[in-house]
With several copies, the nearest count.
Chain A
């Protein structure tokens, strides 16, 4: 039996494993490092960082829902300068492969973040979280507006140059996801991250008011997996050459393979790390095993496999 080639690439970045953390679900990395070496997984996607430090939203910031959860963190974070000074060096020291997630309130803020990161060594890729309210346009989320999405990616692309691959992270809360995806790819995104959380809400029946401090929150976890798989499948069908970082409810190797077959080149694990701090490791080894059992010689061979023409078997 040949050794399985488990590596993947996103733009010009190579990763020995396709299993990454999901932005906002691994904090700075230090906390998960208590449970496994960060070097052992494909990559660490950091919590979306903004230009300035932010307190985020009031508590309660979470609600459990059937097979899922809502969160409304509101991008609490230390700001890009503190992040570059403290978190990047730690991750480099751990030999983690780093994907930095950035978020902004204006097109300009995204470009500023890209400029500050451009000269930082040790970053494998940039994930651009465009599921943020655009303060210049009635708070309309960038990722829900084809035009604003393009402008953000365009600004980042110009600033960052060609060296670091850009992954545009999209929201599923849109009528035409494929159009948004095509737009950002035309504007210079090398890859897409699918999906961010789905907008949801819970009413607290004791207070008879919205439960979350932020009123609405983002739904994540196994509940949304069918939505994520559909999004990945649709976008891969339209843009078969664009690598996809899939996520949304993955908690087993089986789930990861589902996303890969739908078209993902790598898979992020978010909420599952809350259920199980070593989920990344178990998903990774289960996925490897499954690929072997199914007779794949490489992870790449399974990417988008569910799209093969009728009649083609394995």
Chain B
């Protein structure tokens, strides 16, 4: 049984940047020294709607990157899709808004000790944490290839500067408006063989993660995926965010994706029993 991320703190953090990027908003939030504690894969939980809000639950967002050199002290970057009322509110906040943030939360992507070849696969805003991860892996000497997919061009998040750490990047859209027409899962099988991939890191919608897992299962490829379940608290106290996980003996447990995840071993998840996020 995992426990909450030991580094987690509740802070008041100021928005220092908000920029539209395609169909997303890139938010830069000043979090001071906590930036040092954030690892690729961790997420944050943010209060939305202001003082007299009817939204009582925090919203979860992956930390896309942290930076410590900026003029605001430590900052983190979030890539937010304006989806429902909470994320829309967040996207509408301008510089100077003070947010109530719990950061960092959850597990991080496991980093291989050897310089192996890795494939990073992102769906929609799921690519956000992958660029920070790519840098870490690249620094470890890994060869990093990346596949990004989305329904349409505006939902592909692939910042220029993020590509430095990536050896190859291929983009897929379902409407063909950017990159290749098709799904991000199409080329995985051949890539695994061609590039001799040891680890796949994935982040995106649950059906995508599940499809990747079908490809890796039975192979030696390790699949580290960041799952997404509806979360009421983000800190392990509500039991709403569970994911069915099998242990070695095949026994099922419902683990909290906010503290035993979001990054989990894809092979251990009982995908056929997972729910659907709205």
Measured CB to CB, the residues of A under 8 A from B are 24-27, 30-32, 34-35, 47, 55-56, 58-64, 66-69, 71, 73, 76, 204, 206, 211, 213, 221-222, 271-278
Contact = CB atoms under 8 A, between A and B. Distances in A.
12 contacts: A27-B236, A31-B237, A31-B259, A34-B235, A60-B230, A60-B278, A61-B239, A62-B57, A62-B230, A62-B231, A69-B56, A73-B240
Interface stretch (B3-11, B154-162, B180-188): B3-11
Interface string B208-223: 0000000000000000
B247 to A, nearest CB: 13
A276 B233 CA distance: 9
B235 A277 contact: yes
A156 to B, nearest CB: 25
Contact of B239 (A24, A32, A67): A24
B237 A222 contact: no
A31 B242 contact: no
Contact of B237 (A27, A204, A211): A27
Contacts of A275: 47, 56-58
B249 interface: no
B57 A274 contact: yes
B231 to A, nearest CB: 8
Given A31-B235, A274-B58, A59 B229 contact: yes
Contacts of B241: 59, 61
Interface residues of B, number: 38
A25 B237 contact: yes
Contact of B10 (A62, A66, A271, A278): A278
Contacts of A31: 3-4, 235-237, 259
Contacts of B274: 59
Nearest to B253: A55
Given A34-B4, A34-B235, 15 more contacts: A27-B239, A30-B4, A55-B244, A59-B229, A62-B232, A64-B57, A67-B54, A73-B238, A73-B240, A76-B254, A213-B275, A222-B56, A277-B10, A277-B233, A277-B235
B55 interface: yes
Task: Please indicate which of the listed interface residues A62, A76, A271 has the most CB atoms of chain B within 10 Å of its own CB.
Answer: A62
B100 interface: yes
Contact of A67 (B56, B58, B240, B253): B56
Interface of B: 3-4, 6, 8, 10, 47, 54-58, 100, 102, 229-233, 235-244, 252-254, 259, 273-278
Contact of B254 (A55, A221, A272): A55
A211 B56 contact: no
A206 B84 CA distance: 13
A69 B233 contact: no
A237 B57 CA distance: 31
B51 to A, nearest CB: 11
Task: Please indicate which of the listed interface residues A47, A59, A206 has the most CB atoms of chain B within 10 Å of its own CB.
Answer: A59
Contacts of A27: 236-239
A66 B237 contact: no
Contacts of B238: 24-25, 27, 62, 71, 73, 274
B146 to A, nearest CB: 29
A60 B252 contact: no
